[in-house]
Amino acid sequence: MVKRIIALLLVLSLLPVYTVNAADKRMKGVWVATVSNLDYPKEGTVNSSQLMKEADDILDNCQKMGFNAVFFQVRPAGDAFYRSNIFPYSQWLTGSQGTAPENGFDPLAYWVEGAHKRGMELHAWINPYRITTNGISLDSLAVNNPARINKNYTIHYTNGNYYYNPAMPEVRKLVIDGVMEIVNNYDVDGIHMDDYFYPGSDINDDADYEKYNTAFSNKDDWRRNNCDLLVKGIHDALAGSGTAFGISPSGIWANKDNNPLGSNTGGFESYSAIYADTRKWALNGWIDYIAPQVYWEIGHKIADYATLADWWSSTLAQSGTKLYIGIGEYRCDSASSDSVWYNGAAIEKQLEYNKNIAKISGEIHFRYGSVIKNDVLVNMITKHNTGAAPAAVQTTQPVTQAPVTQAPVTQPPVKIEEPTVATTQAPVQTTAAPVPAISKDDIVVYLDGKMVVFDQKPIIENGRTLVPMRAIFEALGMEVEWNNAKRRITATNDGGKLIIMTVGDPIMTADGRIVEMDVPPKIVSSRTLVPLRAISEACDCRVDWDGVNRTIDITSE
């Protein structure tokens, strides 16, 4: 009998170890982004061996760093990183939407198995509404893409991209069916959604409001209810499945100045900007966990990390919904040595702060690629997760710190770009143009913590942000003159500063010093737009760009 017991124990010891993230276990998660090939794969390929090797490398490194959950993006834009009867294979998986990997390889099945055998959970991360990026047309999608088949399900937004229409019951059914296809076919530990709901407020949905509204006196509440119906619908569909359902919203639910229940902050609000009542979802128990993306440092002037961590903790103190915090390592990408984000200094303070708040049950880090390329971050997170020095993690070469720091967040995770700031505004105009509504995908500019309001939206050209001329110069305390005949801009202030620019000319003079700009001023829709970074730096200001949240923070020196 003893021999049989010993033999059984020997057999069990050889089996793969899979430890479930128990209810009382602290979350130590990491996002692995597939949109635009941010983290996986390095490039689209049908080569199953390459796809498996990259997955193994990432999962091995996650295990060594002590992560116990991987949030793998399986539907970045109306597509799939798994074998689906609803959505086509993603272009970022194989290089062409609808093209399958070779040898019947199923990425999600491989990631689930790989995570479990390493003792980690695997959460399937979906974006419910986004269909296209980079302004491509519906007709360029795979022929079996439901958005191409049912074009009436879509919204063509002002940024040139398509989104599923949150007002339509058919769209909610499509999203819920997609969730249940994953849950029924894969042993995932959770379904995870990020912070993309309505793309913004400036959509033309008057006909939908008239058709579908039966109970609301204003469109904002109706739009919020449409998102409520989706979240509640997923919750109900998952009931009894044993699969967790969580959402990582923008870090600010609402600002106290606009809503007495909100936080003492001044940034992008999910409640009013994208109609996501994330507080309600958590308090109603429609989600098992919430992971707000609090991507600002402790002490930030308009969105202090500690203020938000405390607000979420106190708001959900009596709720059964678990609270994790989204941590933004991407802010450390290329941070200069004088930045609070350099080598994760701000991150370390955030992790220490969380230890003192009982309601916070862990963190999810955004994102794998931003962590793994910085040895200091790898060591810090490994120590935080395990209390020990890291094993040999397959990092890339140490990050070269470029002279660019990051800025405050207004919305989360998406492709990180590196445009240099610029601004637009027109020549002389006596009648003020209406201020355009700010959407989630627009660029938002802050000067010393105060939002700069433009009468035309900033644009990005050749990696440089352009903004309206008059608004940015006046925000910087300068008087501006426009010479229509020479198309010349002259800006001065009481301190004697002089800046001269000409439309179409990349040469700017600043106090007699010649500055060559990457992009010259230009006229767009009768408004003169100028390069934001060049002007701000000529005025002795520091410019920080947050690519994920498309915000620019100008700080006067």
The residue count for the chain: 557
Task: Name the residue among 62, 26, 33, 63 with its Cα closest to residue 324.
Answer: 26
Cβ atoms 445, 421 nearer than 8 A: yes
Beta-carbon contacts of residue 547 (< 8 Å; ≥ 6 apart): 330, 406, 415, 416, 417, 418, 419
The answer to pTM > 0.85 is no
Q: Residue 480 forms beta bridges with which residues?
A: 491
Torsion angle, CA of 238/239/242/246, rounded to 10 degrees? 60
Long-range contacts of 100-105 (CB under 8 A, 24+ apart): 100/46, 101/45, 101/46, 101/47, 101/48, 101/51, 102/46, 102/47, 102/48, 103/48, 105/48, 105/51, 105/52
Could you give the CA distance from residue 276 to residue 196 in angstroms, rounded to a whole number?
9
Q: Residue 30 forms beta bridges with which residues?
A: 70, 365
Q: How many CB atoms lie within 10 A of CB 225?
A: 18
Beta-carbon contacts of residue 6 (< 8 Å; ≥ 6 apart): none
Q: What is the pLDDT of residue 183?
A: 98
Q: Which two tokens stand for residue 482?
A: 């426009």
Could you give the CA distance from residue 203 to residue 326 in angstroms, rounded to a whole number?
29
Question: Amino acid identity of 248?
Answer: S
Cβ atoms 468, 527 nearer than 8 A: yes
Q: DSSP class of residue 434?
A: P
**Three-state SS at 123:** strand
Q: Which two tokens stand for residue 397?
A: 């070469």
Q: What is the pLDDT of residue 424?
A: 34
Give DSSP secondary structure letters for 350-392. HHHHHTT-TTEEEEEEE-HHHHHT-HHHHHHHHHHHHSS----
**Domain 420-556, second-level architecture:** 2-Layer Sandwich (3.30)
Q: What is the pLDDT of residue 557?
A: 67
Q: What is the pLDDT of residue 412?
A: 36
Which class for 527: exposed (0-12), middle (13-18), buried (19 or more C-beta within 10 A)? Answer: buried
Q: What is the pLDDT of residue 20?
A: 44
Q: What is the pLDDT of residue 526?
A: 74
- The two most distant CA atoms of the chain are separated, in Å, by 101
Could you give the CA distance from residue 545 to residue 554 in angstroms, rounded to a whole number?
9
Q: DSSP class of residue 6?
A: H
Cβ atoms 308, 251 nearer than 8 A: yes
Q: What is the pLDDT of residue 420?
A: 33
**Residue-level pLDDT, tens digit, the chain, 557 residues:** 444 444 444 444 444 444 444 444 899 999 999 999 999 999 999 999 999 999 999 999 999 999 999 999 999 999 999 999 999 999 999 999 999 999 999 999 999 999 999 999 999 999 999 999 988 999 999 999 999 999 999 999 988 999 999 999 999 999 999 999 999 999 999 999 999 999 999 999 999 999 999 999 999 999 999 999 999 999 999 999 999 999 999 999 999 999 999 999 999 999 999 999 999 999 999 999 999 999 999 999 999 999 999 999 999 999 999 999 999 999 999 899 999 999 999 999 999 999 999 999 999 999 999 999 999 999 999 999 998 766 666 544 333 333 333 333 333 333 333 333 333 333 333 344 455 555 666 788 888 877 888 888 888 888 889 998 888 988 888 888 888 777 889 988 877 788 999 888 888 888 877 888 888 899 887 788 899 989 988 888 888 887 767 888 888 86
β strands within 249-356, DSSP E: 289-290, 322-328
Q: What is the pLDDT of residue 547?
A: 75
Cβ atoms 128, 164 nearer than 8 A: yes
Q: How many CB atoms lie within 10 A of CB 555?
A: 16
Q: Residue 192 forms beta bridges with which residues?
A: 125, 246
Beta-carbon contacts of residue 62 (< 8 Å; ≥ 6 apart): 30, 70, 118, 120, 368
Q: Which two tokens stand for residue 220?
A: 């904002």
Domain layout of the chain by residue ranges: 2-386, 420-556
Could you give the CA distance from residue 399 to residue 420 in angstroms, rounded to a whole number?
20
Could you give the CA distance from residue 334 to residue 332 in angstroms, rounded to a whole number?
6
Q: DSSP class of residue 426?
A: -
Helix 345-354 vs helix 305-315: crossing angle, to nearest 10:
30
Q: What is the pLDDT of residue 512?
A: 75
Q: Residue 516 forms beta bridges with which residues?
A: 507
Q: Which two tokens stand for residue 502?
A: 């000409």
Fold of the domain spanning 2-386: TIM Barrel (3.20.20)
Q: How many CB atoms lie within 10 A of CB 22?
A: 6
Could you give the CA distance from residue 325 to residue 129 in angstroms, rounded to a whole number?
23
Task: Name the residue among 359, 298, 360, 307 with its Cα closest to residue 331.
Answer: 298
Could you give the count of Cα atoms lying within 13 Å of 75 in the half-sphere of its Cβ?
28
